[in-house]
Amino acid sequence: MADSLLSYIALAMILFSIGFLGIISRKNIFIVYMSIELMFNAVNLIFIALGRYNESMQPQVIALIIIAIAAAEAAVFLSLIVVLYRRKKSLNSDIFTVLSQKDAAHE
């Protein structure tokens, strides 16, 4: 089981799917963020699996870079959540619709 590429890929796909499901089904902004992070990790897993498969170090480097980017994104994302929470006092991702055409027309 641990010997075949396919099982690692399958695991990664399952995690990716779970993350995607989290995005579309949860309204709580924190959960959405965590789902995004889960999807990043799933992709990392695929990279590393393929790196082992092809016996190359490059995907591992890429994976490190992805982790670094995820860190930067975390900082910005979370500070945005703070700002938005201060504005709207709510954690519902659905109410942030200012940029949509419908609301722009009203304002």
Partner 1 sequence: MVDIVFLVLAFFAVGGGLGMILFAQPMYSAMSLIVCLIALGGVFALLSAPFLFMVQIILYAGAIVTLLLFIVMFLNIKKEDLPDEPNKIITIVAGAVLLIPFNIMILKAFSTFPEKSMYILGDGFGAINDFGIELFRGWLVPFELISMLLLAALVGAVVYARKEKPNG
Partner 2 sequence: MSNFLLAFIVLVPFVSATILGIMYLYSIKISKVPNFVFTLFGLSAPIISFAVGFSFFLKMIVNDEIILYKAYRWLSVDAYDIDMGFMADQLSIFMVLFITFVGGLIHIYATGYMKDDEGYGKFFFYFNLFLGSMLLLVLADSPIIMFIGWEGVGVCSYFLISYYYEDSENVKAGNKAFIANRVGDLGFIIAMVTMFYYAGANGLDYINLEAGLVNLPIDLLTFIGLALFVGAIGKSAQIPLYVWLPDAMAGPTPVSALIHAATMVTAGVYMVARFHFLYDMIPNVGLFIAYIGAFSALFAAIIATKQTDIKKILAYSTMSQLGYMFIAVGLGAYSVGIFHVFTHAFFKALLFMGAGAVIVALHHEQNIFKMGGMKDKTPLVFYTMLIATLAITGIPPFAGFFSKDEILLTAFSSEHYLLWGIGVVTAILTAYYMFRMIFIVFFGQNYKKERTIHFVPNSMLMPLVVLAIGAVLAGFIGIPEVLGGHNLVGEWLSNWHLDSLHVTHKTEILLMGGNILAAFIGIFIAYKKFYMYDMKDVAEPQGIIWNKFYIDEIYDRFIIQRTKALSIFISYKIDVNIIDKIVMGLSNSFIKSGHFVARMQNANTRFYAFTMLLGISVISTYLIIVMR
Footprint of partner 2 (CB under 8 A): 20, 23-25, 27, 93-94, 97, 99-103
Residues in the chain: 107
* C-beta separation of 47 from 59 below 8 A: yes
Q: What's the min distance (Å) between Cβ of 23 and partner 1?
A: 9
Nearest-angstrom CA–CA distance, 98 and 107: 9
Compute how many other C-beta atoms are within 10 angstroms of the C-beta atom of residue 32: 19
Positions 4 through 63 that interact with partner 1 (CB under 8 A):
4-11, 13-15, 17-22, 24-28, 30-31, 33-35, 37-38, 41, 44-45, 48-49, 51-53, 55, 57-58, 60-61, 63
